[in-house]
Amino acid sequence: MIEVSKEIFNSIKQDTNSSIIFVHTPFCATCQLAERMLKVVDEMESEVNIYRLNGSMFPEFMQEEKIESVPALIHLTITGVSARLYAFESVPKIYEHVLKWKQTNAIR
């Protein structure tokens, strides 16, 4: 996963390709578990970049895109968040969403 800095965030927001972003906060235990599952998906689907965004560092983005809770996996397009996943139930479920998002749009 690629850690999102301010520079990377600006690049993602202006890109015409879509992105998959894992939104977390540092002290969220559920986020840590979700991240472990995402690492498996990341290894299985190496041609898709999954970005890791600390929601505490981007409060404006969280509010603008109405991200309700963390952990969250979002599909971000040039027009904003097109899909969200809040329930990280299993690796296969996460993988299914990543594949679906990959097929619907060019993933960055």
pLDDT digits (tens, 9 = 90+) for 11-45: 888 887 889 999 999 999 999 999 999 999 999 98
Say yes or no to pLDDT of 54 above 90.
yes
Sorted by sequence, the CB contacts under 8 Å of residue 50 that are 6+ apart come out as 1, 2, 20, 21, 22, 38, 41, 42, 98
Please report, for residues 22, 31, 73, 82, 89, the alpha-carbon distance to residue 12 in angstroms, rounded to integers and kept in the order given: 13, 22, 15, 14, 27
pTM above 0.75, yes or no: yes
Domains of the chain and any CATH numbers: 2-104 (3.40.30.10)
User: Per residue in 56-84, pLDDT tens?
Assistant: 999 999 999 999 999 999 998 888 899 99
